[in-house]
Amino acid sequence: MWTIPLKNRTAFGYVYNNNFCSKADARIEVEDTFNLKDISFIDLSFTPGSLRQPKNGNVTAIGLSAGFIDALDATSLHLTCLSILNWLKYENDSHTYNSEWNYIFDQIQKYIQYYYTTSTKVGKFWDSIPKLSDEEVLDIFKKLISSDILDISGFSSAISIRMLANRIKVSPELVNIIDNHFDFSDLLFSTNLVLDLDNKYVPYTDDLYIKWLKYTGSLSLEELAR
C-alpha cells in the first residue's frame, strides 16, 4: 500500500492477491487506512512475464510493453532505464540486446522472489508461499558474494545480498569468504561510503513529510490539517 502525492491530487495504491482478498475487502481496507470514503477506485490485474525477444529488427519494446514482474518494488523504472541505455549501445544488434534484457530481467525476478521467500510476515497470503530455509538462504548468499560475475554495485545483486544478510548469522567462515573474495580497498571504500551516507541521513518525521506535501502542493490546507 502506498501514496503518491501529485500536484493536483494524491494517488493511493494497494496490491492484493484475489485468492485471499476480494475487491470489496481491498476497498474497505484502503478507505479505512486513509480515512477516505467514496474514492475513485480502479481495479487492475496483471500477469507477470516478459518478452524474450523485445527487440526485433527496427522495433523495440521498452518499459511495460517489454515486461512486468511485480508492483512490490519500482523495478519497472530501473528496467526501463537499462533498456534505453542498452538500446543506445546495441541499436543494430538485436541478439545482444535481447540477451542483455533476458539476463537483467531474470536477475531482478530472482531479487523479487527473495522478498517473498524470505519474508517473515504472517497471514493467509504469506503463509501460502514456500519459504527458504536458513540453510538455503546461507547457500544463496555465499554463491552471490563468491560469484566472479557479481557486480557488487549492481542493483539486483547488491539489494539481494543485503536482503539475505538480514536472515543469516555471520560466522568466521562467512567472514573469510567475504575477506578472500573482495579486494580490501573495495571493502574500505564501501565502508567509508556507508559511514558518509549515515552521517547525512535525516530520520523520517511527520514534519518532514508535511514539508514535502506543501512543496508539491498535493494536499489542501484542510487535508494537511486533518
**pTM across the whole model:** 0.67
Region 138-159: mean pLDDT is 67
Residue entry with cell 552471490: 144
What type of residue is 183? D
Q: Is the pLDDT of residue 149 over 70?
A: no
In three-state form (DSSP H/G/I as H, E/B as E, the rest C), the secondary structure along 50-116 is: ECCCCEECCEECCHHHCEECCCCCCHHHHHHHHHHHHHHHCCCCHHHHHHHHHHHHHHHHHHHHHHH
Judged by DSSP in three states, 76 sits in helix
| pLDDT for res 171 | 79
| CA 168 – CA 161 distance, rounded (Å) | 11
| pLDDT for res 92 | 92
What type of residue is 15? V
Length of the chain counted residue by residue: 226
| CA 96 – CA 87 distance, rounded (Å) | 10
H-helix or E-strand spanning residue 11: strand 10-13
Judged by DSSP in three states, 23 sits in helix
C-alpha of 36 from chain center: 28
What type of residue is 176? N
Q: Is the pLDDT of residue 219 over 70?
A: no
| pLDDT for res 102 | 93
What type of residue is 109? Q
- pLDDT tens sequence across 150-202: 554 455 666 777 777 777 777 788 777 777 777 778 778 877 887 887 777 77
| CA 163 – CA 160 distance, rounded (Å) | 5
Q: Which residue has the higher pLDDT, 131 or 111?
A: 131
